[in-house]
C-alpha cells in the first residue's frame, strides 16, 4: 500500500480516541480527538462514536482499532470493560457497516505493544518484553524475539481474591482514593506476579499511568528493567494503525 496514512482508533473503557497516523514514521498527523465511551458500551453505541471520529476527520479509507479484550480474526471474545453484548460480535464487519470504512481490529494492548516495539521503548529488543497498559483496566502484551503473543489478557489474573485490574489499575486507584504511594504498593504486587510467571527482560508501563513517569518509576520495583512507554497514551492509536496496515499488506499479497 503506497499511502501510509491510516486512521487509528483506541477504544477504551472511559474514552474512545483517534488520530490519522503515518504508519511509516509512527507520527500522528493530526491532533488526537477523544470522545467519552457511551454507557452502556454496546457494540452499536461504541461504533457510532467511532463513526463520529471518522466524520470528524472526514475519513473514507482504511481504519485500525484497538478493542479492550480478546479479538480473534475480527470476532470479539471477551468484554471486561464494555457491554457483554460484544461477545461473538464481528467488530470489523460492524465498523464497516456503520462507517463505510474497511477496518482491522486487534486487542488494544497488542496495538500499543506493536507501536512501542516499532517506534518506542521496545525498539530493537529481541528478548522477552512485557508491556502493561494501565488505565481503566490493565492490558498486557508480550513479545519474544520481536514476535507478538496475542490476546494475553493477564490483567485478569486473581490477585488478593479479585480480578487483578479491579485491585491495581489506575481506575482502582481513583475508586479507592489511593495516593500514588499506596497504589504503587498494590501495583508492585501485580508486577511481582508477572515476573514470577513470565520472567521478562524489559517491562514497559503504558496507558494513562505512563503520563506520571517521573512519579511512578521511583515507586515501582522489578527485577527486569522498567521504563514507561515513549508514545505514552498514544501508543494504542499508532499501533491500531500499524495493525491495519499489516493486514492490508497481507490481503494485497494474497491477491
Q: Cell for 74?
A: 475480527
Backbone angles phi, psi at 103, to 5 degrees: -140, 150
pLDDT of amino acid 214 = 84
Average pLDDT over residues 70-79: 96
Residue 29's contacts (CB-CB under 8 Å, 6 or more residues apart) are 5, 19, 20, 21, 22
Distance CA 13, CA 81 (A): 5
pLDDT of amino acid 1 = 45
pLDDT tens-digit readout, 205-240:
998 888 888 889 999 999 999 999 999 889 999 999
pLDDT tens-digit readout, 143-169:
999 999 999 999 999 999 999 999 999
Q: Are strands 138-144 and 147-149 parallel, antiparallel or unpaired?
A: antiparallel
Distance CA 132, CA 112 (A): 9
Contact 125, 117 (CB under 8 A): yes
**How many H helices and E strands in the chain?**
8, 15
Query: What's the pTM value of the predicted model, to 2 decimals?
Result: 0.91
Q: What percentage of the chain carries pLDDT values higher than 70?
A: 98
Domains of the chain: 5-108+234-254 (3.30.420.40), 123-229 (3.30.420.40)
pLDDT tens-digit readout, 12-71:
988 999 999 999 999 999 999 999 999 999 999 999 999 999 999 999 999 999 999 999
Q: What is the mean pLDDT of the chain?
A: 94
Distance CA 22, CA 236 (A): 14
pLDDT of amino acid 255 = 56
Sheet holding 202-206, edge to edge: 147-149, 138-144, 128-134, 202-206, 225-228
Tell the residue number behind the cell numbers 504498593, with chain if given.
185
Average pLDDT over residues 120-146: 95
pLDDT of amino acid 233 = 85
Amino acid at each position: 500500500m503506497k499511502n501510509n496514512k491510516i486512521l487509528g482508533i483506541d477504544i477504551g473503557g472511559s474514552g474512545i480516541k483517534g488520530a490519522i497516523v503515518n504508519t511509516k514514521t509512527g507520527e500522528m498527523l493530526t491532533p488526537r480527538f477523544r470522545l467519552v465511551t457511551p454507557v452502556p458500551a454496546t457494540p452499536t453505541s461504541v461504533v457510532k462514536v467511532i463513526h463520529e471520529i471518522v466524520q470528524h476527520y472526514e475519513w473514507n479509507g482504511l481504519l485500525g482499532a484497538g478493542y479492550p479484550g480478546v479479538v480473534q480474526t475480527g470476532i470479539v471474545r471477551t468484554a471486561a470493560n464494555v457491554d457483554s453484548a460484544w461477545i461473538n460480535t464481528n467488530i470489523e464487519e460492524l465498523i464497516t457497516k456503520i462507517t463505510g470504512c474497511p477496518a482491522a481490529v486487534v486487542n488494544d494492548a497488542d496495538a500499543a505493544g506493536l507501536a512501542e516495539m516499532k517506534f518506542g521503548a521496545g525498539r530493537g529488543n529481541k528478548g522477552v518484553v512485557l508491556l502493561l497498559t494501565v488505565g481503566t483496566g490493565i492490558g498486557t502484551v508480550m513479545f519474544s524475539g520481536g514476535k507478538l503473543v496475542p490476546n494475553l489478557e493477564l490483567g485478569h489474573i486473581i490477585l488478593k481474591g479479585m480480578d487483578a485490574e479491579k485491585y491495581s489499575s489506575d481506575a482502582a486507584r481513583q475508586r479507592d482514593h489511593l495516593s500514588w504511594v499506596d497504589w504503587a504498593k498494590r501495583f508492585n504486587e501485580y508486577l511481582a506476579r508477572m515476573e514470577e510467571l513470565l520472567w521478562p527482560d524489559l517491562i514497559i508501563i503504558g496507558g494513562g499511568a505512563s503520563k506520571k513517569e517521573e512519579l511512578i518509576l521511583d515507586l515501582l520495583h522489578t527485577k527486569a528493567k522498567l521504563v514507561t512507554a515513549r508514545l505514552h497514551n498514544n501508543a494504542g492509536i499508532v499501533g491500531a494503525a500499524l495493525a491495519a496496515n499489516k493486514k492490508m499488506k497481507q490481503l494485497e499479497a494474497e491477491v
